[in-house]
Amino acid sequence: MIVICPSCKKKFNLDINLITSEGRDLQCGSCEHIWFYKKQEPMSEPLQINEDIAIKEKEDSEKLNEDKSKNQLIKKLVEENKKAKSELSTIKKTDGKSEKIKKNKSSKFFSYLFVLIISLGALIILIDTLKTPLISIFPGLEVLLFNLYETLKDIKLFIIDLS
Protein backbone atom coordinates (compact mmCIF):
# COMPACT_ATOMS: atom_id res chain seq x y z
CA MET A 1 0.00 0.00 0.00
CA ILE A 2 1.24 3.51 -0.83
CA VAL A 3 1.05 6.14 1.92
CA ILE A 4 1.68 9.86 1.29
CA CYS A 5 3.12 12.17 3.94
CA PRO A 6 0.71 15.12 4.44
CA SER A 7 3.59 17.49 5.16
CA CYS A 8 6.15 16.93 2.38
CA LYS A 9 3.99 14.78 0.02
CA LYS A 10 6.63 12.04 -0.14
CA LYS A 11 5.25 8.59 -1.05
CA PHE A 12 6.10 5.45 0.90
CA ASN A 13 5.36 1.80 0.16
CA LEU A 14 3.94 0.29 3.38
CA ASP A 15 2.86 -3.24 4.23
CA ILE A 16 -0.95 -3.21 4.70
CA ASN A 17 -0.71 -5.70 7.60
CA LEU A 18 1.21 -3.18 9.74
CA ILE A 19 -1.82 -0.88 10.04
CA THR A 20 -4.68 -2.09 12.24
CA SER A 21 -8.33 -1.30 11.58
CA GLU A 22 -8.21 1.39 14.33
CA GLY A 23 -5.22 3.08 12.61
CA ARG A 24 -1.82 4.05 13.95
CA ASP A 25 0.75 6.86 14.05
CA LEU A 26 3.19 7.05 11.15
CA GLN A 27 6.40 9.05 10.88
CA CYS A 28 7.81 10.35 7.62
CA GLY A 29 11.36 9.19 7.03
CA SER A 30 12.11 12.33 5.04
CA CYS A 31 10.74 15.26 7.08
CA GLU A 32 10.17 13.45 10.43
CA HIS A 33 6.51 14.56 10.47
CA ILE A 34 4.22 12.32 12.61
CA TRP A 35 0.54 11.83 11.73
CA PHE A 36 -2.28 9.41 12.49
CA TYR A 37 -3.20 7.12 9.58
CA LYS A 38 -6.33 4.99 9.38
CA LYS A 39 -7.17 2.53 6.63
CA GLN A 40 -9.87 3.74 4.34
CA GLU A 41 -12.62 1.24 3.75
CA PRO A 42 -13.38 0.51 0.13
CA MET A 43 -16.72 1.85 -1.05
CA SER A 44 -19.41 -0.78 -1.01
CA GLU A 45 -21.73 0.90 -3.51
CA PRO A 46 -20.56 1.82 -7.00
CA LEU A 47 -20.23 5.41 -8.07
CA GLN A 48 -23.12 6.83 -10.03
CA ILE A 49 -22.75 9.16 -12.97
CA ASN A 50 -24.17 12.54 -12.26
CA GLU A 51 -25.96 13.94 -15.30
CA ASP A 52 -25.09 17.48 -14.27
CA ILE A 53 -21.40 16.64 -14.61
CA ALA A 54 -21.91 15.32 -18.14
CA ILE A 55 -23.82 18.48 -19.13
CA LYS A 56 -21.15 20.66 -17.53
CA GLU A 57 -18.39 18.82 -19.41
CA LYS A 58 -20.28 19.38 -22.66
CA GLU A 59 -20.61 23.10 -21.88
CA ASP A 60 -16.92 23.26 -21.02
CA SER A 61 -15.96 21.64 -24.32
CA GLU A 62 -18.17 24.11 -26.22
CA LYS A 63 -16.58 26.97 -24.30
CA LEU A 64 -13.14 25.57 -25.12
CA ASN A 65 -14.01 25.44 -28.82
CA GLU A 66 -15.17 29.07 -28.63
CA ASP A 67 -11.90 30.00 -26.92
CA LYS A 68 -9.92 28.25 -29.67
CA SER A 69 -11.79 30.19 -32.36
CA LYS A 70 -11.16 33.42 -30.43
CA ASN A 71 -7.50 32.47 -30.14
CA GLN A 72 -7.26 31.88 -33.89
CA LEU A 73 -8.94 35.24 -34.52
CA ILE A 74 -6.44 36.96 -32.21
CA LYS A 75 -3.51 35.28 -33.98
CA LYS A 76 -4.88 36.44 -37.33
CA LEU A 77 -5.23 40.02 -36.05
CA VAL A 78 -1.68 39.95 -34.67
CA GLU A 79 -0.29 38.77 -38.02
CA GLU A 80 -2.21 41.53 -39.83
CA ASN A 81 -0.87 44.06 -37.34
CA LYS A 82 2.72 42.87 -37.97
CA LYS A 83 2.23 43.21 -41.72
CA ALA A 84 0.82 46.71 -41.29
CA LYS A 85 3.77 47.71 -39.07
CA SER A 86 6.29 46.40 -41.59
CA GLU A 87 4.57 48.38 -44.34
CA LEU A 88 4.53 51.49 -42.14
CA SER A 89 8.22 51.16 -41.32
CA THR A 90 9.09 51.34 -45.01
CA ILE A 91 6.67 54.23 -45.62
CA LYS A 92 7.40 56.19 -42.42
CA LYS A 93 9.74 59.06 -43.19
CA THR A 94 11.70 61.50 -41.08
CA ASP A 95 12.80 64.67 -42.92
CA GLY A 96 12.07 62.90 -46.20
CA LYS A 97 14.32 59.91 -45.41
CA SER A 98 13.50 56.51 -43.96
CA GLU A 99 14.65 55.75 -40.40
CA LYS A 100 16.42 52.60 -41.56
CA ILE A 101 18.46 54.60 -44.05
CA LYS A 102 19.32 57.13 -41.34
CA LYS A 103 20.68 54.38 -39.08
CA ASN A 104 22.60 52.94 -42.00
CA LYS A 105 24.24 56.31 -42.79
CA SER A 106 25.53 56.73 -39.23
CA SER A 107 27.04 53.25 -39.27
CA LYS A 108 28.57 53.94 -42.70
CA PHE A 109 30.15 57.15 -41.37
CA PHE A 110 31.98 55.31 -38.59
CA SER A 111 33.11 52.57 -40.93
CA TYR A 112 34.47 55.19 -43.38
CA LEU A 113 36.22 56.98 -40.52
CA PHE A 114 37.77 53.71 -39.35
CA VAL A 115 39.01 52.92 -42.88
CA LEU A 116 40.43 56.45 -43.24
CA ILE A 117 42.41 56.15 -39.99
CA ILE A 118 43.82 52.76 -40.97
CA SER A 119 44.72 54.05 -44.44
CA LEU A 120 46.57 57.06 -43.01
CA GLY A 121 48.49 54.77 -40.68
CA ALA A 122 49.45 52.51 -43.58
CA LEU A 123 50.51 55.52 -45.68
CA ILE A 124 52.76 56.82 -42.88
CA ILE A 125 54.36 53.38 -42.47
CA LEU A 126 54.92 53.18 -46.24
CA ILE A 127 56.51 56.66 -46.36
CA ASP A 128 58.75 55.76 -43.40
CA THR A 129 59.84 52.56 -45.14
CA LEU A 130 60.64 54.34 -48.40
CA LYS A 131 62.10 57.47 -46.74
CA THR A 132 65.62 57.20 -48.17
CA PRO A 133 64.67 56.71 -51.85
CA LEU A 134 62.03 59.46 -51.62
CA ILE A 135 64.52 61.97 -50.15
CA SER A 136 67.02 61.23 -52.91
CA ILE A 137 64.33 61.98 -55.54
CA PHE A 138 62.68 64.92 -53.65
CA PRO A 139 65.35 66.65 -51.48
CA GLY A 140 62.85 69.10 -49.89
CA LEU A 141 60.80 66.17 -48.58
CA GLU A 142 63.31 65.49 -45.76
CA VAL A 143 62.18 68.52 -43.72
CA LEU A 144 58.48 67.65 -44.21
CA LEU A 145 58.99 64.04 -43.15
CA PHE A 146 60.94 65.11 -40.07
CA ASN A 147 58.12 67.51 -39.07
CA LEU A 148 55.51 64.76 -39.71
CA TYR A 149 57.32 62.30 -37.44
CA GLU A 150 57.75 64.93 -34.70
CA THR A 151 54.04 65.77 -34.90
CA LEU A 152 53.12 62.08 -34.61
CA LYS A 153 55.37 61.76 -31.55
CA ASP A 154 53.67 64.79 -29.98
CA ILE A 155 50.20 63.29 -30.67
CA LYS A 156 51.33 59.99 -29.14
CA LEU A 157 52.56 61.77 -25.98
CA PHE A 158 49.30 63.77 -25.80
CA ILE A 159 47.24 60.56 -25.95
CA ILE A 160 49.41 58.92 -23.29
CA ASP A 161 48.95 61.98 -21.01
CA LEU A 162 45.16 61.74 -21.43
CA SER A 163 45.04 58.23 -20.00
Average pLDDT over residues 129-156: 89
| CA distances in angstroms from 38 to 8, 12, 16, 19, 24, listed in the order given | 19, 15, 11, 7, 6
Instruction: Identify the pLDDT of residue 29.
Output: 83
Residue 68 burial (10 A CB sphere; 0-12, 13-18, 19+) = exposed
Choice among 14-18, 69-73, 125-129, 145-149 with the minimum mean pLDDT: 69-73
| Percent above pLDDT 70 for the chain | 74
* Mean pLDDT rounded to a whole number for the chain: 78
**155: part of which helix (H) or strand (E)?**
helix 141-162
Ramachandran sector of residue 10 (left: φ over 0; alpha: ψ -120 to 50; beta: rest): beta
pLDDT beyond 60 at 63:
yes
What pTM value is reported for the model?
0.33
Amino acid at 29: G
pLDDT beyond 80 at 109:
yes
Instruction: Identify the pLDDT of residue 115.
Output: 93
pLDDT beyond 80 at 88:
no
Instruction: Identify the pLDDT of residue 89.
Output: 58
Task: Say how far apart CA 114 and CA 154 lie, in whole Å.
Answer: 22
| CA distances in angstroms from 5 to 11, 48, 116, 138, 140, listed in the order given | 7, 30, 75, 98, 99
